[in-house]
Amino acid sequence: MIATTRGGPESFVASRIATIALVASLVIAACGGVASPPQTTPARQTSSRLRAVVDATWAGYKQVFIQRDGRVIDPTRNGITTSEGQGYALLRAVWMGDQTTFDTVWRWTASNLQLGGTAPFASLWSDSKPIDAHSASDADSDIALALLFAARRFGDPTLREDALSTLTAIWNDDVVSIDGMNVLTAGDWATRQQTPGPVINPSYFAPYAYRIFAVEDPAHRWSTLIDSSYTLLNECTDAVLDNTRSRGLPPNWCAISRATGRVTSFPTIADANDYGYDAFRVMWRVALDALWNNEPRARSYLVGSTLLRTQWNTSKHLEAVYGHDGSVVSSYDDPTLYGGDIGNFLVTDTAGAAQIEQLLVASFHPSSPAYFGDPQNYFEQNWVWFGLALAAGMLHDLDTEFQ
């Protein structure tokens, strides 16, 4: 992914925080003259400001990244489409109550990525056809959750039927049983990996979603994935990978050895052991389970992951990529990563979360269309948005809220 700023941490944070007041005033113009919030408490004012930024950047994202037919494009990769991007758009649309966009994105997704209607979604699409028919289980899960939420919020029972079909496909293609433990692998390709064994991406685990799946789809044992997710997340985080000891950060990728049944590295993918542009999402997904469900394993995991908080409280800066041993692999500032990392702080360090929230808001550009950081970076637009929306309290369990 593309970093938006590569200066030193002190100059970056100082310049970002110095622009907060300016950004806050400009948000009003970007959102069409939203009235000033009541002068009650700082928390109320912050929430109102964040909501304005979240609203404006969703409108801007639709203009730049979602085509009229519902296809989400990544301009930095020659306009390709991923199942991940479709899932992000569906989640954002339903959380924003934007039924028109949701319906358009879902129609394109179902028509172009759901091959045969009985398999998970093709992960990559370009030049009018899928170019990688294999699935990515994070996208499959995000899409299924978005469909269940939309069925509730928009009162459309056909979307629940679509969700149940998707869940059956996920269970049949993305889930594997290992020594009696059901595991969500990284996709249909990962279940069949022979050497070293089934492949896991810890940032794909979504225990908050499996709780909802278990209620809506009792035909499959989704609750077992909650347990295996926390078991494997801890094992991948704590494992010695390629003779490197852990500093408490999850790796981008790991695998389960068919020979030993133990977690091991997955050498086929470069930088698999690092905490980087996959693994940072773990903090956000685990935080969602902690905040929605008060899951003690989620809180324990985030509390135990101390390196990010130590780094932030020491230097007010987080590196883009850390090695499994906590060493710095890539040293530059990218708001994308803070969008996931803020999840840890929202649960464990609210003062640090407020500081990171300011940094993220300062990457906001209230132009038309509004955007964060690099206006062409699809990944950054999504993850800064997810981080701020979580901080603003805008991401609710809609399956429960609209019962």
114-138 confidence digits (pLDDT tens): 987 667 899 999 999 999 999 999 9
Work out the percent of the chain whose per-residue pLDDT is above 70. 88
In angstroms, the CA 37 to CA 52 distance is 11
Mean pLDDT score of the chain, rounded to an integer?
90
Per-residue pLDDT, averaged over 222-245, amounts to 97
pLDDT score at 253: 98
pLDDT score at 47: 78
Secondary structure letter of residue 123 according to DSSP: S
**∠ at Cα 280 (199, 66), nearest 5°?**
90
91 pLDDT above the threshold of 50: yes
Give 178-200 pLDDT, tens digit per residue. 989 999 999 999 999 988 999 99
pLDDT score at 118: 67
Phi–psi pair at 224, nearest 5 degrees: -70, -25
- The SS3 assignment for 241 reads strand
In angstroms, the CA 112 to CA 121 distance is 9
Beta-sheet strand order (sheet of 199-200)? 199-200, 254-256, 263-264
Give 106-115 pLDDT, tens digit per residue. 999 999 999 8
pLDDT score at 102: 98
pLDDT score at 261: 87
Strand partners, 246: none
Give 237-290 pLDDT, tens digit per residue. 999 999 999 999 999 999 999 888 899 999 999 999 999 999 999 999 999 999
How is residue 189 written in tokens? 């390709």
Amino acid type, 77 = R
Residue 40: pLDDT band with limits 50, 70, 90? very low
Per-residue pLDDT, averaged over 161-178, amounts to 95
This prediction has a pTM of: 0.90
Residue 207: pLDDT band with limits 50, 70, 90? very high
7 pLDDT above the threshold of 60: no
